[in-house]
Each structure stands twice: as C-alpha cells, then as structure tokens.
Amino acid sequence: MAIGGSVLSCFCLFPFSVSRKDKSQSSGRSSSFRLSNSEEVDRISSLPDEVICHILSFIPTKEVVTTSVLSTRWRTLWTSVLALDFEDNWPCFFNTNFASIVGSILDQRRAKSINRLCIHNHNKSFSIELIGTLVSTAVAQNLQELDLFCYYYLEVTLPNILFTCKTISILKLSFGSTINLNGVSSIHLPSLKVLHLYLLYLADDEPVMRFFSGCPILEELCYEEVKSNNSTSFKICMPLLKKLHLKCHDKRVQIVTPSLEYLQVQETKVCDTLVCNLPNLIKTHVDIYFDKCEQEYVSKLFNGIHHTNFLELSTYTTEVLADSSFGFPEFHNLVHLKLCLSTIDYCFLIQLMLTKCPKLQILDIDKVYEESAERKRTLPTTPVPKLS
Amino acid sequence: MAEIDMAVIKPEMMKPYIWLETSDGSIQQVEQEIAMYCPLICQEIIQKGMGSSKNCAICLPQRVSPSTLSLILDYCRFHQVPGRSNKERKSYDERFIRMDTKRLCELTSAADSLQLKPLVDLTSRALARIIEGKSPEEIREIFHLPDDLTEEEKLEPLKNTTDDPRIRLLNRLYAKKRKELKERERLKNVEVEEEHVDKRSVDDLLSFINGNDEDPKGIKTSKNKKKNRRKKEQQQKNSSLKETSEVNKEVNGQNIRHPNSEADRIAETSISNTEDVFAHKEFDDGDIDDGIDPALKEKIDREVEDFARRLNSDWPERMQELLSTGQERKTMLFTPNGNSFIRFDLKAPLPDNGLERRQRIVSLDYEADPDTYITFPFPVIPLA
C-alpha cells in the first residue's frame, strides 16, 4: 500500500477522466447500456435498498464508497450502509488528512446508526484521537459491534462512553500495547455477548475484573495474550458464559462458569481450582503445562472437564501426562478423543485413556514428528480394544 | 376392505401439508413443518389460517419464483431438523450457495420477501464476497449493471471521499464562485463573450496535491519570500509534473470551449510552459480595470481568505490566488510585478518572455452551462 508515497504513481494507476459534457453527444452517457436479453438483466439492483445495504455491510468501507460509481441506482446507496469497516488499504496521499476523509464519509452518510465499526490498522493512518472520535460517534449511534485491531501505538485510551454502551453486543479489542482502563469509572455493558481481548497490556488486573463483572450476559470470552504488570490470580466468574478461550501465561486463572459448553485452554498455568465443575461442557481443548508437583491441580482440572463430549489434548499436555502416573477421572460422555502426540512412547497413556472413556467412538491420533500420521479410527462403542 | 382402511388411515398418518401459490399461479403442496421455517408463511398460517387447502393457498410474494421456491424449501428442509451440528450446517450452506450470481440474486430477493433471515444473511455474504475486491467495471460486468452515470457524475465531489478532501472543498468553492459570477453576468450583461474563454490550468490543481509546503496565508507576504517560494514551487512543479504533462495537454485541449485563437495560443503556451508556475501575490484593487463590482470582489476576497484560513497549513498560496482571481472573466496573464500584477486581455500582445516569467491561465468557463465546469481529472474514480 502506498501511503503518501509516490503520489504520481498513484495518478498513473488510476483511470483518468475529464469531465466534459458535450452537448453534441447524446446526454453524455456512455454507450455500454445493455438491454433486455434475459441473460443480461440487472438483477441485483432490483433488490430492495435494505438488502443491498446489508450486502454492502460485509465489505470494507473503501469499496462500499466506490460502488457509488456503478450506476445511478448505486449512487447514494452507500450512504445508508450501517457498517464502517476501515482497513489498511486507504490510499492516503497524506497521512494527516485521513481524518478528514473519514470525516467526510461520516458527513455524507445518511444512515442514522452505525451497527458495526471495524478498524484494522497497522500503521499511522489512524491517530488515537481519531479512533476515539469514531468510537464515540458510533456508540452514540447504536453501535452493536466494535472491532478494533490496531497496532502502532504506545498507549491506548478509549472513550469512557464505550464502557457504558447499552447496545453493544460484540466487542473485540486488540492493540498490541497498553490499554489504559484506569480512567474508566464504571463498566456496564448490558448487551455484551461476545468479548475478545487479544494482545493487550494492562497496568493491573483490577479493571479486568470490573470489566467481567460489568458484562452480565456475556456468552463468549476470548482472553488471549493479555498481560499485566501485577500478575495475580483472577477469577472468571460468569454465569451465562458458553464459550471460553483462554491463553494467559503468567496468571493464575480460576474459571467458574457453570454454563460453559466450549472450553479452550492454551498455555495456561495450572493452578488450584483452575476449573470448577462444568456440567454442560461439550468440547474441550486442553493445552497446558505443569510441573510434577502440580499434579493435583491437573487432576482437578480434569475433574472439572470430565463431562465433555469431545476432548483434545495437545502435545505439551500429553507429554507431561505420559511422564507422570496420572489418575484420570472417568470421561463418561466422551465420544471423540483427539490426542496430539510427539515421539515418546504413549502406549500407556492411550491405554489408560481408553479405559476411562467407556463411550468412546472416535479416536484421533496426530503424531507430530513422524512422517506418517495415523488418523481416524472408528472404534466400536462397547468393548475397548486392546492395543498391541 | 383393506384398501378402504388404508385409504382412511393414510391421511391421518401423513404429515400436515400446506398449499403454496407462486407468482406464476402454480400451486404446490409442501410439508407444513418445512414451510413454517419461513416466517412469512408461518404468519400466514397462524394468523390468517390460510394454506390448509388448495382453494385458500398461501400466495407467496411476487419475487418468489417456482425454482427459487424449491431452493428455499431445500434449505428449510435441511435446517429445520434440530439435531444437526453447526459444522454440518455450515458445510451444507457452503455447498448450497454455489450457484451463478443471477440465481443468487433471485434467491436473496425471494428469501428477503419471505423474511427468512438466515438465508438472506447467507446469500448476502456470498454476494458481498463476489463484490469485494473488484473494480467497478468488473462489478458491472458480473451483475450487468447499466453504466449510466456521466463521466462528470463519476467525478463528482462525492467520490472524493477516497481522495484528497481539499479537492472536494475546492470544487465546492468553485461551484460557489461560479454561481456568483453567473449572477453578476446576468445582471450586467455587457461582457465580451469571447473573452470568457477561461481555462484552468491543470498543473496548478495538481500541484497542491503534490504537497507543496507553502504558507497559504501569503496574500500579504513580502515579495522576497514570494520570489523564493516561487522558485521552490517551480522546482517542485518541474519534478512533479513531467508525468502529467501529457495528460494535461489532452485535458487542456479538450477543455477549450471557444475557438478563440488567442485562447488557443495561450493554451499552447501554457502547455509548453507547464513548468512555469505562476505565483500571484497581491491583488490591488487599484488594478481593477473592468466592471467588476469592487464590493462583491471584496466579499469574494474575504471568503477566499476565510477559506484559506480554514484549510491546512500547507495549502499553497497559489491555490488561493487561483480562487481569488477565478472570478475574473477574462483570460489573464499575470506577470508578477512587485506587489501588483498586470492583467492583459486577450487582444493584447503577450509580454516579452523572460526566463523567469511565469504565467498562468486562469479560466472558468462561464459561457457553457453549469454542468460543464472543469472538474479535476484526478483519480477520484474509485480505485481498482
């Protein structure tokens, strides 16, 4: 992407056109207007406005604006699209003027609400103030989904109004830098269902706790690579949470989520009562590491997840498990087991697991370091075959 | 007997059916539970009690053709089964959506009229994937859209959202100036027609895009600074306009509306002197020698100053002059002469050309109708 780079190369790339309405021509229209061969009828324009705007809401804003030159029907359709999606590919001649481009787009929009605001930015096009303004504007216009994936900043402060937004249901934040939540006095997001926090730094954990407690109906939480200076333990206590994706190296996390159906735990330090009892669990991916002295924590973890229907254990986990003499609980619902193995001998582990899974139907074994990967073998439901 | 029993028992064991009538008048039977997946049909059945027999078949909206209906019913048939996993549904959807764009549009339309939101989402996303990343020409090709916008409409300031916003502001100001001048023209009605050949030099319009870091508030700056700046501008323009000079020629050639030989000559010289950039400085009222109303002129001057103040700091002062002199209806050659400038009308001979002379042709086409103002031949056309 050429930002402010060679301006003239941009000129050469784009089609040139001189505006001239010559009266001698027939109303200046181009001659490529084709008519009703039934194969060539324009069908998309006959869709109602709302549907076309719905289609356009899945496309980045830059391309949405360019649909205004397609035909007369499309000329102002873009102004009613309810989503704003700013990706990195804006050809800004001057970085500093990007704010005015964004401003002019907002000005020309006719729609009164912004359902979705998505900013994916990896360079300096967006200043923090601009992001803040956009977020505030969107929040005031019934924002439902916010997706900020912006790098290149030292510290990020989001407007407070975002944290008391009543309409937002999907919030995804990823900054690669510190996010300053200290100035946020209260966090109350009554509609928030999906929260993704990825690659953030926090001063300490307390705002995160407030965050979690301010989202009463949260159903999906992705908490990955969030680091803070004070590495204490914290609790994820959400009664309605259905999907949890956890990846944090340095913290001790307690998960108290009785409704959980999908759990993915990656590179997380095992600690006491990591996972409470999860009766509704359907799918579990476990990728943890632990020392020999922490075995009882691990057994508690497995106790917590033993209701699951599908279990996948990563190579790290299986390595450590194979080493130790580990007492698995019985996985009475487990139907599909996937083990990712490396090179050491796993016979014992596999046998152990098979004895603990009475209803097992599918066993997936992925051997990572060998050439041949042994794939699915469907087992009969009742007898557990003995491995030779 | 057995047959009669069978005939009697069978209807009770069959699933309830619903009668649907499509836009072409044909009526068909559909299992009720499948048809109920569509909210509109569901509504018709429950609220209005329709569809239970052939006579009161539910009339489907006009956008639902029989072939589309069968597609929709396939979709409903699959998805209304509760026991399917998300993975299964997703892979079914992906296979389902593979069809040509014409049918996809029809399907979207039909699903929307039946208020079947999941299918509308699915088809909309598929259409969005088709549209994304394509140039306007390609999109028109795929969907057979009529290319019925004039070139000018394609270049309208609306499109400048993808471009430098100062172009857009400039366009607006030009439009405003034009309107004012038109009014004056109507009132006065004494100007010489052929002197209205005006042509805006494209170089100047292009130049500010290239980031000349000039001080925009330079109306009253000192002459020395102006001279230095002019030199700098010239150098910048030299380097930046080489590539566009050809296009300029084409543009300038097309934009001359009056076959005035003087205008041609001036146009020629402007082309040959593309490197020369004029930097007009002061605009003394004392130099006005035509019938321009000084009060209006002052007002316009003030507006221009306002405009300059509001713009970014690197707004080149040349553009400011352009705006302030744009209201003149004569073709003018400006020769900087200290703080003032000398204007020539077309009949006058060109002043002697020193090496340092810069000239610029300012022209606005007031003669032609409002829509023929020269917009910037900038790449405001949406980018491929």
Tell me the per-residue pLDDT of A241-266, one tens digit each, with 9 for 90 and over: 899 998 877 667 788 888 888 988 88
CA distance B143 to B251: 32
- 3-class DSSP state of A235: strand
pLDDT tens, residue by residue, B122-138:
999 999 998 888 888 88
CA distance B214 to chain A (A): 15
CA distance B166 to chain A (A): 9
Give the pLDDT band of residue A221 (cuts 50, 70, 90): very high
CA distance A242 to A218: 8
Residue A231 has pLDDT above 70, yes or no: no
The reply to whether residue B379 touches residue A14, judged by beta carbons under 8 angstroms, is yes
- 3-class DSSP state of B114: coil
Q: Is the pLDDT higher at A143 or at B225?
A: A143
A residues 150-169 closer than 8 Å to B (CB): none
Helix axes B66-79, B101-113, angle to 10 degrees: 70
The reply to whether residue A71 touches residue B131, judged by beta carbons under 8 angstroms, is no
Among chain A residues, CA nearest to B139: A70
CA distance A103 to chain B (A): 9
Sign of CA dihedral B298, B300, B301, B303: positive
The reply to whether residue A69 touches residue B382, judged by beta carbons under 8 angstroms, is yes
The reply to whether residue B120 touches residue A54, judged by beta carbons under 8 angstroms, is yes
DSSP state of A330: -
CA distances from B132 to A60, A66, A145, B123, B127 (A): 8, 11, 21, 14, 9
Burial status of residue A8 (CB atoms within 10 A of its CB: 0-12, 13-18, 19 or more): middle
The reply to whether residue B148 touches residue A100, judged by beta carbons under 8 angstroms, is no
CA distance A17 to chain B (A): 5
Q: Which of B252, B257, B270, B268 is nearest to B194 (CA)?
A: B257
Residue A220 has pLDDT above 70, yes or no: yes
Tokens 């481009």 belong to: A101
* Token representation of residue A343: 């090179």
pLDDT given at position B305: 64
Q: Which of A154, A156, A113 is nearest to A137 (CA)?
A: A113
CA distance A280 to chain B (A): 16
Tokens 């949890």 belong to: A244
* Token representation of residue B116: 């079947």
Q: Is the pLDDT higher at B9 or at A301?
A: A301
CA distance A175 to A356: 43
Chain B contact for A44 (CB, 8 A cutoff):
yes
- Residue B46 CB contacts under 8 Å (≥ 6 apart), including other chains: none
Cα radius of gyration rounded to whole Å, chain B = 34
The reply to whether residue B379 touches residue A100, judged by beta carbons under 8 angstroms, is no
CB nearest B109 (choices: A27, A47, A90): A47
Instruction: Name the residue type at position B241.
Output: L
pLDDT tens, residue by residue, A39-84:
567 777 788 888 999 999 998 888 888 888 888 888 888 888 898 8
Chain B contact for A24 (CB, 8 A cutoff):
no
In b/e form, how buried is each residue of A41-69, taking b as 16+ CB within 10 angstroms? Answer: ebbbbebeeebbbbbbbbbbbbbbbbbbb
- Give me the residues paired with residue B337 across strands: B340
Q: What's the average model confidence in pLDDT over A162-179?
A: 89
Is beta strand A170-174 parallel, antiparallel or unpaired with respect to A233-237?
Answer: unpaired
CA distances from A127 to A34, A178, B197, B358 (A): 46, 15, 45, 40
Residues of chain B in contact with residue A91, where contact means CB-CB under 8 angstroms, are: 162, 383
* Token representation of residue A23: 């009266």
Sheet holding B58-59, edge to edge: B27-31, B17-21, B58-59
CB atoms within 10 A of CB A323: 11
CB nearest B148 (choices: A44, A54, A72): A72
Q: Which of A209, A310, A196, A175 is nearest to A243 (CA)?
A: A196
Mean pLDDT of chain A: 75
Chain B contact for A38 (CB, 8 A cutoff):
no
CA distance B79 to B118: 10
Residue A372 has pLDDT above 90, yes or no: no
Q: Which of B99, B148, B315, B374 to mutate to test the interface with A (most CBs of A within 10 A)?
A: B148
pLDDT given at position B273: 42
In chain A, the largest separation of any two C-alpha atoms, in whole Å, equals 92
DSSP state of A237: E
Residues of chain B in contact with residue A67, where contact means CB-CB under 8 angstroms, are: 131, 136, 139, 382
Give the pLDDT band of residue A97 (cuts 50, 70, 90): low
Strands (E), B180-277: none
A residues 64-103 closer than 8 Å to B (CB): 65-75, 90-91, 93-94, 96-97, 100-101, 103
The reply to whether residue A18 touches residue B210, judged by beta carbons under 8 angstroms, is no
CB nearest A11 (choices: B153, B255, B379): B379
* Total CB pairs under 8 A between chain A and B: 207
Contact between B178 and B375 under an 8 Å Cβ cutoff? The reply is no
Alpha helices (H) along B257-293 = 261-272
Among chain A residues, CA nearest to B379: A14
Chain B contact for A293 (CB, 8 A cutoff):
no
pLDDT given at position B232: 52
CA distance A108 to chain B (A): 8
CATH top-level class for A44-310?
alpha beta
* Token representation of residue A351: 């046998």
Residue A171 has pLDDT above 90, yes or no: yes
Residues of chain A in contact with residue B136, where contact means CB-CB under 8 angstroms, are: 66-67, 69-70
- Give me the residues paired with residue B71 across strands: none
Residue A92 has pLDDT above 90, yes or no: no
pLDDT given at position B334: 38
The reply to whether residue B162 touches residue A74, judged by beta carbons under 8 angstroms, is no
Contact between B72 and B114 under an 8 Å Cβ cutoff? The reply is yes
CA distance A191 to A162: 12
Strands (E), B108-155: none
- Give me the residues paired with residue A146 across strands: A117, A171
CA distances from A169 to A139, A192, A261, B153, B174 (A): 12, 4, 19, 39, 45
* Weakest mean pLDDT among A125-139, A274-288, B111-125, B202-216: B202-216
CA distances from A132 to A30, A103, A200 (A): 43, 13, 17
Residues of chain B in contact with residue A23, where contact means CB-CB under 8 angstroms, are: 369
Among chain B residues, CA nearest to A9: B243
CA distance A244 to A263: 5
Q: Which of B204, B206, B373, B358 is nearest to B273 (CA)?
A: B358
pLDDT given at position B307: 59
pLDDT given at position A26: 37
DSSP state of A380: P
Q: Where are the domains of chain A?
A: 44-310
CA distance B33 to chain A (A): 27
* Weakest mean pLDDT among A174-183, A293-302, B121-130, B248-257: B248-257
Q: What's the average model confidence in pLDDT over A225-230?
A: 78
CB nearest B147 (choices: A13, A71, A100): A71
CB nearest A63 (choices: B132, B154, B375): B132
Q: Is the pLDDT higher at A100 or at B237?
A: A100
* Token representation of residue A368: 């990572």
CB nearest A71 (choices: B125, B148, B383): B148
Residues of chain B in contact with residue A7, where contact means CB-CB under 8 angstroms, are: 209-211, 240
* Token representation of residue B141: 């090709």
Is beta strand B27-31 parallel, antiparallel or unpaired with respect to B17-21?
Answer: antiparallel
Q: Which of B122, B128, B105, B118 is nearest to A55 (CA)?
A: B128
DSSP state of A275: B
Low-confidence ranges of chain B (pLDDT < 50): 6-13, 157-164, 193-201, 207, 211-224, 226, 233, 236-291, 312-322, 326-384
Burial status of residue B53 (CB atoms within 10 A of its CB: 0-12, 13-18, 19 or more): exposed
Among chain A residues, CA nearest to B157: A104
The reply to whether residue A94 touches residue B164, judged by beta carbons under 8 angstroms, is yes
Q: Which of A12, A13, A17 to mutate to test the interface with B (most CBs of B within 10 A)?
A: A17
